[in-house]
Amino acid sequence: MKKALVVYANGSEDIEVTAITDVLSRGKIAVTKAAITSEGCTVSLAHGTTVVCDKNIADCKDKYDVIAVPGGMPGSTNCRDCDLLISMLKKQKQEKRLIAAICAAPGFVLAHHGIIVDEKATGYPGCVDNIKNCTNKDVEVSDDHLIITAKGPAFAIAFALAILKELQGEECMQQVASGMLLDD
């Protein structure tokens, strides 16, 4: 079974983490919700939702097929400032495993730390100034299919489906989308 690490920081965008976790779980991906906190597993999301994650980021030692970083403020800056997460993302890229980021995270986390350099990427308007090859697409999949980015909350489900497609293929992605009535 493929594995996903979805990071949850204080101030992460509620709908983004929820959409990623839900869609990947529907697609038979083993999702680990990781708290980006100094200790413990509880985070408070940007719009007040409290989440008890599966693990603290410090306890996430597995190899993951994807690491997904939500946006939201100050969630993106909390992710940007988490040395352990940045180390994991750099290793993920070095080992040519999928990285996904949405909203403020492509610019504030990935571009800020040189995880995306020449790859095409998109993100939340006003948060993409340091993305060299910024596109205006709602969801952008890099040419090498190793980086997926999206603009923001309105595109959270499409973003999650793009991740699922990369991990489980078109048929699985279509089945999940259909089950969610996205093709009606």
Catalytic residue, from 53, 79, 82, 103: name it. Answer: 103
133: closest CA among 146, 118, 145, 143? 118
Q: Are 21 and 48 in contact (CB under 8 A)?
A: no
Neighbouring residues of 79: CB distance < 8 A, sequence distance ≥ 6: 7, 9, 12, 36, 69, 85, 105, 108, 109
103 carries an active-site annotation: yes
Q: Directed axis angle between helix 156-168 and helix 170-179, to 10°?
A: 140
Q: What is the DSSP string of 78-118?
A: HHHT-HHHHHHHHHHHHTT-EEEEETTHIIIIIITTTSSSS
Q: Which residues are known catalytic residues?
A: 103
